[in-house]
Structure 1
Amino acid sequence: MIRKDRVVSTFLEYVQIDSPTQAEATFAAVMTKELEALGFQVFIDDAGEALGSKTGNIIAKLKGSHITQPILFGCHLDTASPGIGIKPTIVDDIIYSDQTTVLGADNKAGIAALIEALQVIKEHNLPHGPIEVVLSIFHEGGQKGAKHLNYELLDSKIAYVLDGGGDPGRIVTSGHAKYQMQLYISHMNELCAPSLKTLRQITSKVVDAMHKDKNYATSTASVAVICGASDKHVIQVESASLSAESALEAICKIRSSFEDVASGYSATVTSKLSEVHQTFSVSRHDPMVKCLFSACSSLGLEAYTAQSIDGSDANHYHSNGIKAVNLGIGERKPHTLHEHLHIKDLVNASRLILALVDEHVKTPMVDL
């Protein structure tokens, strides 16, 4: 029932609508009209005001034809940079950009696949339970839209995020916690800021020590010097782990290392710590994962679970009491000029969404 020509056309249309982070309003207006045409009641929350975006998160609700537990499908509206003026092209059933921008399959492939499935449900009057859709803003750069989402507007307790790499059938059931810290280094004499060369020397020594320290085995970390005005250089540190405690311990240890090394340069360290997202985990034996395996089996797709170090809106759904997994939709090499999307993956992602809706009609509410 999924129409290959239509879902491809929809995707090509979407990626040519510019929607960089904090400028998602034009695309949000398009999606609002499309969801309303499909019978959804659409709300825009106030997240944009807090985040400096020109629109808020889209929250859409469709009443069910059957009494089942409501399910949520989540995507994000913004694309990575460079993402203005995307010119898609198709070569051998693979969609590319012209390699001057990203393609925007992250995350417009998920949105196109979802809209196609919803259109089929309406056209064929297929049975379905209550469906909620969230299209978040300001995803790139820390999933801030999902973090500021008005969760009081949602009824769903389970969510399928359509924002994963890999083939349809890949199910991310666990994700890392992530912390970010900005370090500001100054000389004992506050009137004299350390040079960029000094900051790099300090950073190099800390990174060398990290490579030799086996205590970082359960975490990943990155350190970068961000160049600003002469007195505004910042060292940004990130740490991630499946254990929130390990991630926090790692980033605090890195701060201590900077303090120790900086003291040898007569410099002091101040810092600002923030949580990017919390960890999440869903059992392979959880009913919603079993539902996914069943849906994949009905389509001849290989289902398998995975974990991800990268954050997604699923992390924030979990933090707010909504059990979520992130599904592979065919995104390949996202955030690069070589990003591309196999048409078969786009079609299969849409087929999987349709099959999931059907599985939930057949699955009693008490099982989820």
Structure 2
Amino acid sequence: MKINSQRLSKLFTDLVKIDSPSGEETRVIKYIKKYLRTLNVPAKQDSRGNLYARIPGKTGEAPLVLCAHLDTVEPGRGIVPVFKKGVFTSRGATILGADDKSGVAEILELLTTIKDGFVNERSIEILFTVDEERGATGARAVRPEWLKGREMLILDAGESGKITTAAPFIFEYEVELTGRAAHSGAEPEKGRNALLVAARAIADIPVGRIDDRSTANVGFLASGQAINAVPASATFKGEIRSHERSRADKIFAQTKAAVESAAKPLGVRASIHRELWCEGYCYSHTDPHIKKAVKLMKLVGIRPRLKVSGGASDANTLVGKDFRPLDIGAGYKNPHMTTETVKLKDMVRVVELLQRYVND
């Protein structure tokens, strides 16, 4: 069925005009629930605010789950979308919000075509998540038992045609150092400088691009209250990303060794805590999930591009909940920037792709 591009354009415009920075998605959820009611599609929310819906199909095949997130980054308040020569931009002082409201609009337009007469052979389940941009906390609260399908498309990979084949395991760590305070002028020898240990440790731990599939970073350091006092405590935090969990473990071991090596000579106690922030995943190019996406994209005129990601999305979290998520491009470019754009024709093609998916 031909996509109503004017309707899709209006739907997208309406969505981006609704402020929904992470943690403040209530208004956009209210809009979507009202829209779904016009389509006679019931929806429900979990305790975190994630929105679920289901549209039955003609076959007994397990449903295809379509997912997009509702929140946006800052500056994302008072967005004024501009449409010129087929391209959406913001007026310039804010992001556009196409990450990820283009994906939301595309899914809603698919459902609207069903009301207009398009027949979906396969059942469809919808998952709109909250708070993706602040660590996928919405996805962490998803109730898998509320969804029957396990094959999932997430419309959040950016440019049209992008297919994310792999994303890294991400570990966060925190180092707490405890020394002894002293006056730096009167009796510095009685002090045990925790900040000095932190500085020496950070200088020695692996940071930056470690190899072609691993990175590490230190992004937070806190210590001291006065320049004439030996700091008794220091805390720093970092992350390790790798497409191989064993490689991430080795980098953390090097990090821990650097901290302990810096702390011991100065008599400073070190406590190191590590937490898995999200799972990694990897699809081979011959995986049926990938092959289907490539085939169907070509049928609707989208050029597929297989990409390995160094970042994370809801897919990283949902793969740990027994889903098989595939993150594909919703069409937008320059996410998180005031130069963010999306072409209407690319959004139309994504809706056509979704139509192919539910009837393949």
Q: Does the 8 A contact of 2:207 with 2:218 survive in 1?
A: no
Structure holding more helix per residue? 1
Contact 2:159 2:329 (C-alpha < 8 Å) held by counterparts: yes
Task: Note the residue ranges of structure 1 that are not aligned, 5 or more in a row.
Answer: 49-55, 360-368
Give the CA RMSD over aligned residues.
2.7
Distance in 2 between residues matched to 1:189 and 1:287, nearest whole Å: 61
Shift of the alpha carbon at 1:238? 0.9
Give deviations 1:33-55, integer Å, cap 9, x for gaps: 22233233312112x2xxxxxxx
Bigger mean CA deviation after superposition, 279-288 or 112-121: 279-288
**Maintained 8 Å contact 2:179/2:233:** no
Q: By how many angstroms is 1:263 displaced?
A: 4.5
Instruction: Report the CA distance shift for 1:17/1:268 in structure 2 as closer, same or farther (over 3 A).
Output: same
What corresponds to 1:53 in structure 2? none
Task: Find 2:87's aligned residue among 88, 94, 99.
Answer: 94
Distance 1:100 1:232 in 2: 41
Q: How far apart are 1:264 and its partner, in Å?
A: 5.6
- How far is 1:17 from its partner? 0.7
Unaligned residue ranges in structure 2 (runs of 5+)? 184-190, 226-231
What are the equivalent positions in structure 2 for 1:148-187 lying under 5 Å apart? 148-167=141-160, 169-187=161-179
Note closer, same or farther for the CA distance 1:163–1:217 as it changes in structure 2 (3 Å cut): closer
Q: Computing the radius of gyration over CA atoms, which structure comes out larger, 1 or 2?
A: 2
Q: Counterpart of 1:39 in 2: which secondary structure?
A: coil
User: Would the aligned equivalents of 2:181 and 2:193 in 1 still touch at CA under 8 Å?
Assistant: no
CA separation of 1:262/1:101 partners in 2, compared to 1, >3 Å: closer, same or farther?
farther
1:267 & 1:345 partners in 2: Cα distance?
A: 57
Normalised by the length of structure 1, the TM-score is 0.85
Q: Which residue of 2 aligns with 1:51?
A: none
- The answer to whether the Cα contact below 8 Å between 1:165 and 1:328 also exists between their aligned partners in 2 is yes
**2:307 aligned with 1:306, yes or no?**
yes
So what's the TM-score if we normalise by structure 2? Answer: 0.86
SS in 1 for 2:157: strand
Q: How many residues align?
A: 346
3-state SS of 1:83 partner: coil
Matched, 1:81 2:74: yes
Match in the other structure for 2:23: 22
- Seq. identity, %: 24
1:224 partner letter: G
Residues 8-33 of structure 1: CA deviation (Å, up to 9, x unaligned): 21111111111111111111111122
Who is 1:222 aligned against? 217
Q: In the TM superposition, what are the counterparts of 1:184-199 in structure 2 within 5 Å?
A: 184-189=176-181, 198=196
Describe the shift of the 1:69–1:227 C-alpha distance in structure 2 as closer, same or farther (beyond 3 A): same
- Once the two structures are TM-superposed, the CA of residue 224 in structure 1 deviates from its matched residue by 1.3
Structure 1 segment 264-279 matched on structure 2, within 5 A: 267-279=268-280
Q: Deviations over 1:256-295 (max 9, x none)?
A: 3233234566544323322111111223223332322222
